Chain A
């Protein structure tokens, strides 16, 4: 494992940013919980917002510890170059394409066109992108996977399809 030194702060940039997001989220949950109506004679203790507020408080404390830890290790320094590196990294680009492929299947295809066709398109596209073999292999794998997902299992479990 790569050892961190005082000058090697890039390892903590992501921790620092995520910590800020967590802190923001916990504050949002806390404010929303406090806005929930009081019910019963026990006031806030019995309010629907009691448990979320308690949890948001716990998340705030834990995230504060996490963020401060990252900050002390240099997490706030060099954020812009770190973000630029993260965006241009080949792994990140590959990840972005995977998210688009799966997200496209979930949001743009499933429920809008017949599920079997959506599944076939998804498998064909993702197998092609992942370069699993020649064209014939991609077609065969896609058809077999579609048969399993869109025909065999729904028939076995008698379920309607999206």
Chain B
């Protein structure tokens, strides 16, 4: 990997832009993909992976540009729309939108739902565009760092994400970390990958492990349904309905936050499997630390929504690196994208830029136009989805429950997944009653298996000399970051607790 190749890709950028603009079919495809992505992003349990894999058979029958454009547009649309349900009904549409709940939902409850949705889409748009741009500009540098990532670093990034989520998601880091540890333990159930031993495999279904999607639906969706509907008069979202717009003033005000989140997200998005979920938390944490009024975070701060959403959309760019340069998918959607590339005879790998000059630039341009198409679709349909999602909770949430059942079933087409969703809904309800944040648990389930395998593989590799593992440069930086995060979060929680003069634990 060298800079000459990257300069060559930069030179192809104008050509790729003209290529998209001169193809009406591609433009229509990006708009339709953005719309479909937004719909699946907003439906609890229906994921971008499901929509992309369904259309994989279709994309084979259309030219490569159009097919890949459709997949990229669904991916971008789903990530951007995941924040909408997080804001409007306190149920993140995707795990990456978990941090958006922290400020987005309080904003909606304060009657500022439209403002929150607008901030979310504006941040998603700018974050997506900047993320792809930074990815292209720093491709050799990021690829060099990515090459230095081993199992130990993957484990540490997973740990960092969990530490941040645990500390930030709730009022008490202790409860956040307990929640995250519970999630990690849930991820241990099932056949482990190194010795193929069925851990906690008391039934045949448990040997297969606990699927992540039913856990997500149960903890976020069912818990919200139970907690809200148990009240005789549940809260209602009373927001001014109307169209959202691209607000230059909003982007200008929060530009530094967006740029900070973008760099953090691209950097961490490189780590396969764990980067995407950890990025929103890192972006949120950085914004909170740099803010003059960090106490506003968690109570409806626009900056919190902007930081989380720009980070999770920019990660798509970071996740492109392992997919294109090494052929390693960083997440479910990038795995489908990779399958799409193979179907068109494109071989991702270190030689991609030599064998197919201009291809990386084309993908980046597709990301840009997909972000734009998603924004345009959001502007057009926003009055409708804001109105629909502001419907009385007594009507909306039972339907979300049935959709959750369908989503859990679709995860593996077994009733066991549906039962898991119910069980985790009840567990989530108990934890939420005691003010435990649930997002760290979801993150724990999501990254737990990979973190465990990475840790043990690293220990196996360095079994003769463990200091070799501990002194790897990127690992050292990550370890320092984890210690600093843990100590600072603990201290700030103590200071906050003291100032709240003897309040209850929750």
Interface residues of A (CB under 8 A from B): 1-5, 11-12, 14-15, 18, 22, 29, 32, 36-37, 39-42, 45-46, 48-52, 55-56, 58-59, 62-63, 65-66, 69-70, 73, 90-92, 94-95, 98-99, 102-103, 105-107, 110-111, 119, 122-123, 126-127, 130-132, 141, 145-146, 148-149, 153-154, 157-162
Contact = CB atoms under 8 A, between A and B. Distances in A.
A111 B222 contact: no
A98 B229 contact: yes
Interface stretch (B24-32, B246-254, B266-274, B397-405): B397-405
Given A62-B177, A62-B178, A14 B434 contact: yes
A111 B413 CA distance: 11
Contacts of B459: 42, 45-46
A63 B178 contact: yes
A44 to B, nearest CB: 11
A123 B401 CA distance: 10
A102 B419 CA distance: 11
A114 to B, nearest CB: 14
Interface string B365-400: 000000000000000000000000000101100110
8 contacts: A5-B502, A36-B199, A46-B195, A46-B460, A94-B230, A123-B402, A132-B392, A146-B402
Nearest to B430: A18
Contact of A65 (B174, B181, B184, B431): B174
A122 to B, nearest CB: 6
Nearest to A141: B395
A162 B418 CA distance: 10
A132 B505 contact: no
A63 B179 CA distance: 10
Interface in B294-345: none
B400 to A, nearest CB: 10
A157 B50 contact: yes
Contacts of A18: 430-431, 434
Contacts, number: 179
Main SS of chain A's interface residues? helix
Contacts of A95: 226, 230, 429
A122 B455 contact: no
B336 to A, nearest CB: 14
Nearest to A58: B181
A37 B158 CA distance: 26
A119 B402 contact: yes
A132 B455 CA distance: 52
A122 B402 contact: yes
B415 A126 contact: no
Given A58-B181, A102-B222, A132-B392, A73 B399 contact: no
Contact of B503 (A3, A69, A162): A3
Contact of B185 (A3, A4, A59): A59
A154 B405 CA distance: 12
Given A36-B197, A69-B505, A98 B230 contact: yes
A53 to B, nearest CB: 10
Contacts of B177: 62
Nearest to A38: B195
Contacts of A70: 505
A149 B463 contact: no
B486 interface: no
B188 A55 contact: yes
Given A55-B181, A59-B182, A3 B197 contact: no
Determine which residue in B188, B399, B402 has the highest number of CB atoms from chain A within 10 A of its CB, and name it: B402
A156 to B, nearest CB: 8
B171 to A, nearest CB: 11
Contact of B226 (A48, A99, A107): A99
B426 A106 contact: no
A113 B38 CA distance: 32
B199 A52 contact: yes
A110 B185 contact: no
Contacts of A48: 192, 194-195, 197, 199
Q: Which 8 A-B pairs have the closest CB atoms?
A: A48-B197, A95-B230, A51-B452, A11-B504, A130-B394, A4-B504, A126-B398, A149-B402
Contact of B395 (A4, A51, A132): A132
Contact of B455 (A51, A98, A106): A51
B410 interface: yes
Contact of B46 (A40, A131, A157): A157
Interface in B169-227: 174-175, 177-178, 181-182, 184-185, 188, 192, 194-195, 197, 199-200, 222, 225-226
B413 A160 contact: yes
Determine which residue in B51, B54, B192, B501 has the highest number of CB atoms from chain A within 10 A of its CB, and name it: B192
B197 A52 contact: no
B469 to A, nearest CB: 12
Determine which residue in A12, A29, A40, A153 has the highest number of CB atoms from chain B within 10 A of its CB, and name it: A153
A157 B54 contact: yes
A59 B182 CA distance: 7
A141 B503 CA distance: 44
Given A45-B459, A153-B46, 6 more contacts: A3-B501, A3-B503, A126-B401, A132-B395, A158-B54, A162-B415
